[in-house]
Chain A
Amino acid sequence: MKELLKVTGLNVVFDTPAGRVHANRGINLMVNENETLGLMGESGCGKTVLFLSLLRLQQPGRIVSGSIVFDGRDLTKLTTSEMQQVRGRQIALVPQDHSTALNPAFTVGQQLNEALLVRDNGGGLWKTSLIGCSGRGSQAFQEEVKAVLGELALGDLVDTGRLLGRYPHQLSGGIRQRVLIAMALLGHPRMLIADEPTTALDRASRVQTLEVLNRLCERMTMLIISHDLDAIRTTCERVAVMYGGRIIETGPMLSVFRNPRHPYTRLFLSCQKFSRGDVLPEVTGDVLNLIDFPLGCSFHPRCPRAMPVCSELEPAEVHVDDTMVACHLYATGETTC
């Protein structure tokens, strides 16, 4: 198995009037080619920031240290224009909120076409301006879009020609979400990162979207943020759990789901089990404030198994069987990475 993405020691901060927000703290994460990884964690723990950092779109946040090695290249070292080549064509994003992610002034067709133009001509203003573009007959475009929409089970649901002429506000949430997925796929990316792709959807759309994701994960590398355990269970080979800007547990999906090791993971999964994905269940206690950290393990104020050491020393990541955990309960005396 080939390693496609490896994030090491990633620190992302936001400087705000209230103080410095440590949104990502020493993130270590690895994704293999053709693997699907699920990222879980309560709201505000830094998942979206991590995703945006992969595309270096975390502004106004700053990557203060760490590396993001994608296909052998450290993305943090690329120039702006090199980074543009990565976006959409290497790593494509399916954003968190489908209702605001499409430009209200352009038709679906125009926005999908733009993704194609970026793939074929690059992202320059002139090349994508529809004046400067050439060589993409509308016929070829139509067919390609049709194929992609077919793959997303939209082919029979709506008439492609009509859909392309529509503006985003004229579409339902489910269709918009799949348009966004189609837009991502049109760039022929090596890796798809989807931020809560099923959260803001009604039940029927969620089921359909899930099917789509299911099919997609067969053939490409994916990183999915989700609270929907069904979604994670059906699509992901591995999972990672985030808390307070850190990844506190990673491992094979089945292993983590059956035998969660970190106290937070346990709590999190037990809450989620009873949810249907549409309401976001909460682990009791205050959500962590990412500006002022407690000393030691950031979870200790809420942890049912906290020990004296937990409020003094930040736990290191340790390997337990096939998973990695950051918790003093599993400390072996020697800290490993």
Chain B
Amino acid sequence: MERHQHPAAAVASKAVRYLIVLFVIISLNFLLPRLMPGDPVMNVLGEEAYYGSPEVLEELKAEWGLDGPLYVQYFRYLGNYLKGDWGHSFLCMRPVSEAIGLHLRWTLALVLPAIILGALLAAIAGALAAWYRKSKLDIGFSATFLSFYSMPHYWLAMVLLFVFGFLLGWFPLGKVTSGDTTGLAYVVDVGWHMVLPLGLLTVSKAAYDFLVVRNSVISIYGEDYVLMAQAKGLSQMAVLFKHAVRNALAPLVTVTAIQFGAILSGTLMIEIVFSWPGMGTMIYEAIGARDYPVLQGAFFIIAVCMLVANFIADMVYVWLDPRTR
């Protein structure tokens, strides 16, 4: 804030870097169906179209830009991508952009709250564990989070579904909604369906963050300003959560940005267990069906998400640590 504006040059160089990444992703996407085993025409159009009549095939080739020399195809592809025309999914039977829009929001509905709740949980637990380090509390938290951290998400998801969905019957056996509700009841219903997958993602996100927060708070614990905060007459909790945790958040944000890809892929696995109609189930099916247009779109949007996450992390980092401004 104030006179500490981000220099335009820094923003520009960041933008250029992001554009290069996107360009590389789009180019890789272009090559993907053309390098994979099998006829690229079949890869892009799907088997059904392929086994159809030759005229239809030619027509489809032209329609989806599979005719002409490779460089022409490439530039046409690039142009289409920028225009938002990401091809047609023969698996989802709709334009790729539409299919992704439909699924992406459900994935984000898990990922975004999980990141925020996970960070909150980790901040609280990590700070307490650091403050009372080597106490029973610390050992308990550390052991719990470490074991969550080392368990495969997919497996944990199955266990949760079995225990809380099946044995205890507290939560539904997957899906996002029971489907017969509207308005507020719908929101409550979705919330109820979200509990298990969101809880699992939150805890597994927190499991890693916990260690980060704990270690940063321990190192911050020795800082003079923590001593000073105590000397001011602040309570232990105020010192911990205002002064120590605040400064442990910056590494947390960095870690979150780095981990974003892992969180996303973890979510994708969990979605299949919980019949969650997000990107994971879509990608899973698309791989099975070799629906390259969908895979291309998914890779692209995931790359965009990663870049956005990095960008936000940069911003938040600067906001959290005034010294970097």
| Cross-chain contact of A104 among B232, B234, B238, B247 (Cβ < 8 A) | B247
| A87 in contact with B231 (CB, 8 Å) | yes
Is A95 interfacial (CB 8 A cutoff)? yes
- Mask, A126-170, CB within 8 Å of B = 1, is 001100000000000000000000000000000000000101010
Task: Output the residue of B225, B227, B231, B234 with the most chain A CB within 10 A.
Answer: B231
| B227 in contact with A104 (CB, 8 Å) | no
Is B15 interfacial (CB 8 A cutoff)? no
| Cα(A97)–Cα(B223), bound, Å | 11
| B322 in contact with A169 (CB, 8 Å) | yes
Q: List chain A residues, Cβ under 8 A from B223.
A: 100
| Cα(A185)–Cα(B235), bound, Å | 19
Is B320 interfacial (CB 8 A cutoff)? yes
| B237 in contact with A100 (CB, 8 Å) | no
Is B243 interfacial (CB 8 A cutoff)? yes
Is B2 interfacial (CB 8 A cutoff)? yes
Is B180 interfacial (CB 8 A cutoff)? no
| B238 in contact with A88 (CB, 8 Å) | no
Given contacts A104-B225, A104-B322, contact A93 B238 (CB under 8 A): no
| B231 in contact with A124 (CB, 8 Å) | no
| Cross-chain contact of A123 among B228, B233, B321, B323 (Cβ < 8 A) | B233
| A95 in contact with B234 (CB, 8 Å) | no
Interface residue ranges of B207-260 to A (CB < 8 Å): 223-225, 227-238, 241-243, 246-247
> Which of chain A's residues has its CB closest to B234's CB?
A123
| Cα(A85)–Cα(B243), bound, Å | 19
Q: List chain A residues, Cβ under 8 A from B323.
A: 104, 167, 169
Given contacts A165-B2, A167-B323, contact A125 B229 (CB under 8 A): no
Q: List chain A residues, Cβ under 8 A from B236.
A: 80
| Cα(A147)–Cα(B233), bound, Å | 22
Is A8 interfacial (CB 8 A cutoff)? no
- Mask, A160-203, CB within 8 Å of B = 1, is 00000101010000000000100100010000000000000000
| Cα(A101)–Cα(B232), bound, Å | 11
| A125 in contact with B231 (CB, 8 Å) | no
Q: List chain B residues, Cβ under 8 A from A122.
A: 235
| Cross-chain contact of A114 among B227, B230, B232, B246 (Cβ < 8 A) | B232
| B235 in contact with A124 (CB, 8 Å) | yes
For A, the interface residue count at a CB cutoff of 8 angstroms equals 39
Interface of A is mostly: loop
| Cα(A89)–Cα(B234), bound, Å | 11
Q: List chain A residues, Cβ under 8 A from B231.
A: 55, 57, 87-88, 92-93, 95
> Which of chain B's residues has its CB closest to A51's CB?
B231
Q: List chain A residues, Cβ under 8 A from B228.
A: 93, 95, 101-103, 180
Q: List chain B residues, Cβ under 8 A from A224.
A: none
Is A84 interfacial (CB 8 A cutoff)? yes
Interface of B is mostly: helix
| A118 in contact with B241 (CB, 8 Å) | no
Is A115 interfacial (CB 8 A cutoff)? yes
Q: List chain A residues, Cβ under 8 A from B322.
A: 104-105, 107, 167, 169
| Cα(A86)–Cα(B231), bound, Å | 9
Given contacts A123-B238, A125-B235, A128-B242, contact A102 B225 (CB under 8 A): yes
For B, the interface residue count at a CB cutoff of 8 angstroms equals 25
| A87 in contact with B225 (CB, 8 Å) | no
| B238 in contact with A187 (CB, 8 Å) | no
| Cα(A183)–Cα(B231), bound, Å | 11
Q: List chain A residues, Cβ under 8 A from B237.
A: 124-125
Given contacts A57-B231, A87-B232, A88-B232, contact A104 B224 (CB under 8 A): no
> Which of chain A's residues has its CB closest to B321's CB?
A105
| B241 in contact with A87 (CB, 8 Å) | no
Q: List chain A residues, Cβ under 8 A from B241.
A: 125
| Cross-chain contact of A57 among B2, B227, B247 (Cβ < 8 A) | B227
Q: List chain A residues, Cβ under 8 A from B320.
A: 105
Q: List chain B residues, Cβ under 8 A from A89.
A: 233
- B35 CB to nearest chain A CB (Å): 49
| B238 in contact with A100 (CB, 8 Å) | no
Q: List chain B residues, Cβ under 8 A from A104.
A: 225, 247, 321-323
| Cα(A87)–Cα(B227), bound, Å | 11
Taking Cβ atoms with an 8 Å cutoff, the residues of B that contact A are 2, 223-225, 227-238, 241-243, 246-247, 320-323
**10 A-B pairs with the lowest CB-CB distances in the bound complex, closest first:** A88-B233, A100-B224, A87-B233, A125-B237, A167-B322, A125-B238, A93-B231, A123-B234, A103-B225, A101-B228
Taking Cβ atoms with an 8 Å cutoff, the residues of A that contact B are 52, 55, 57, 80-81, 84-89, 92-93, 95, 97, 100-107, 114-115, 118-119, 122-125, 128-129, 165, 167, 169, 180, 183, 187
- 16 A-B residue pairs with Cβ-Cβ distance under 8 Å, sorted by A, are A86-B233, A88-B232, A89-B233, A97-B224, A101-B225, A101-B227, A103-B247, A104-B323, A105-B246, A105-B320, A105-B322, A123-B234, A124-B235, A128-B242, A169-B322, A180-B228
Other 15 A-B pairs with CB < 8 A, given A80-B236, A87-B233, A114-B234: A55-B230, A55-B231, A57-B231, A84-B233, A88-B231, A89-B233, A101-B224, A103-B243, A105-B321, A118-B232, A123-B233, A123-B234, A124-B238, A128-B234, A187-B232
